[in-house]
Amino acid sequence: MSKLRIGLSTVFMLMLLSIFSAVAFAEDGVPPTSTNPAPGIHVGDVDNFGNQSTHRTHGNFQNNTNSCANCHSTHNGEDEMLLMKDGEYELCMSCHDGTMGFYDVTKGSGAGTFDDSHLSSSMHNVDSDLLVKQAPGAVKNTSTDILECSSCHNPHGSANDRLLKETVIGTTPFAYNPTTFVSVPVGTKTINLALTEDPDYTAINTLTGGGLKITKSIGPKDTLDKQYYSQFCSACHDDYYGKRSSGRPSNATKTDTHDYLFSHTTNSTSQGRNCAACHYAHGTDVTTLTDALGQKVADLTKPVADGGKYGWTEEKAEAYMKDVSVKGSSLKKYTNMAICFACHATSISNQIDPKYIGPDGRFIGRGLIR
């Protein structure tokens, strides 16, 4: 009899439980999901410290986040970081395509442009299945990773400006002290860019107090930053990093001096002797290239009535600025070999029209070179 009673009580309890759980379930209207796991708890409600969350674009996730799955796969990752490479470019481009108003990478900026619709375009071709080891000048770099936005940027945050990674290939930091050759540990800021608040976004910048500012960059900030910036590039393009007179690092492995190769100096603090002096990080095209005077297509086509010097047609300006180099425009800031001329003109020619010479006795466009 008592067994029967216990049995009936259990059934009754289960019935009550199901009724109440149904009510509790109905309270928030929906069954629990990844973005609404419990009544009143939504993604974005709580930050990692249990505080009311303030939205941070990069690098902050709440304790019950499901956002990891946007990029990572627990058991089916395509590299040791468990990344799913398909869709990475699209994910980044869902905001950086101009639909957030700022940091549109298809528009010319301090990093150049990701736009292949114009003449003379060349870029770090993310989303094209290029392997990192295919970088020009790669000798030590044998990385079989696919070139993606995350090859250079860490979306989770970085000590460096513009989320530039602290380790580029593998887990070894790219940066080392150029004098002592001692490795700079992860977490130390090595790349400061010359950032200034972008006047196009003053309205937004005045809102954020000390927080996020929309900035623009003209390249690495100070002398040491230039060297670290070159070290960053040379994590992949390793054989291009060095002093002209010393030759390329791979010469050390060659026995015949006739096989030696030499490169323009890239590891110096001096103007024009770091990677960013001549190259954009993202890419270039006829709209971002300049001539030796630092003029772009936009300057050449500006109507005379609006203060332009030439008032050329778009076709004429683009034909002038077009890069005809056999190897392509190679992410250059200046068209063709105009940067060589801008820097070295006064030492290789004494017939330069004085109107092209600036007060420093050099070509006017030289001033733009970092």
Stretch binding other proteins (CB under 8 A), from 24-32, 175-183, 255-263, 270-278: 24-32
Could you say which of 2, 99, 255, 351 contacts other proteins (CB under 8 A)? 99
**SS3 (DSSP) at 264:** coil
Least Cβ distance, residue 91 to other proteins (angstroms): 7
Nearer to other proteins, 106 or 330 (CB): 106
Stretch binding other proteins (CB under 8 A), from 39-47, 164-172, 221-229, 335-343: 39-47
Does 90 interact with other proteins (rule: CB under 8 A)? yes
Least Cβ distance, residue 212 to other proteins (angstroms): 11
Does 125 interact with other proteins (rule: CB under 8 A)? no
Angle, CA 125 vertex, CA 120 and CA 126 arms, to 5°: 150
CA atoms in the 13 A half-sphere facing the CB of 176: 11
Least Cβ distance, residue 100 to other proteins (angstroms): 5
Stretch binding other proteins (CB under 8 A), from 75-83, 98-106, 168-176, 261-269: 98-106
Least Cβ distance, residue 134 to other proteins (angstroms): 24
Largest CA-CA distance found in the chain, in angstroms, rounded: 117
Does 106 interact with other proteins (rule: CB under 8 A)? yes
219/368 Cα distance (integer angstroms):
10
Could you say which of 35, 172, 196, 313 contacts other proteins (CB under 8 A)? 35
Give helix then strand counts, H and E, for the chain. 8, 4
User: Residues with Cβ < 8 Å from 251, sequence gap 6 or more?
Assistant: 259, 260, 261
Alpha helices in 259-323 (DSSP H): 275-278, 297-301, 314-321
User: Scanning residues 179 to 218, which ones bind other proteins (CB under 8 A)?
Assistant: 200-201, 203-204, 207
273/260 Cα distance (integer angstroms):
21
Which tokens is 344 given? 């070295």
Burial of 113 (0-12, 13-18, 19+ CB in 10 A): buried
Nearer to other proteins, 58 or 254 (CB): 58
Sign of CA dihedral 368, 235, 89, 116: positive
Stretch binding other proteins (CB under 8 A), from 7-15, 42-50, 152-160, 241-249: 42-50
**Gyration radius from the chain CA atoms:** 28
Could you say which of 94, 134, 270, 325 contacts other proteins (CB under 8 A)? 94
Nearer to other proteins, 36 or 251 (CB): 36
Given a contact cutoff of 8 angstroms between Cβ atoms, the answer to whether 220 and 270 are in contact is no
Q: Which residue, 328, 284, 283, is CA-closest to 147?
A: 283
Least Cβ distance, residue 38 to other proteins (angstroms): 13
Binding mask 59-88 for other proteins (x = CB under 8 A): --------x-xx----------------x-
Other CB atoms closer than 10 Å to residue 266's CB: what's the count? 26
Nearer to other proteins, 42 or 264 (CB): 42
Could you say which of 82, 83, 95, 357 contacts other proteins (CB under 8 A)? 95
Which tokens is 211 given? 């927080």
Least Cβ distance, residue 76 to other proteins (angstroms): 13
Q: How many residues bind other proteins (CB under 8 A)?
A: 37
| Cα separations in angstroms, 255 against 155, 250, 262, 369 | 44, 11, 15, 37
Binding positions for other proteins, rule: CB under 8 A: 28-30, 33-36, 40, 42-45, 52-55, 67, 69-70, 87, 90-91, 94-95, 97-102, 106, 117, 200-201, 203-204, 207
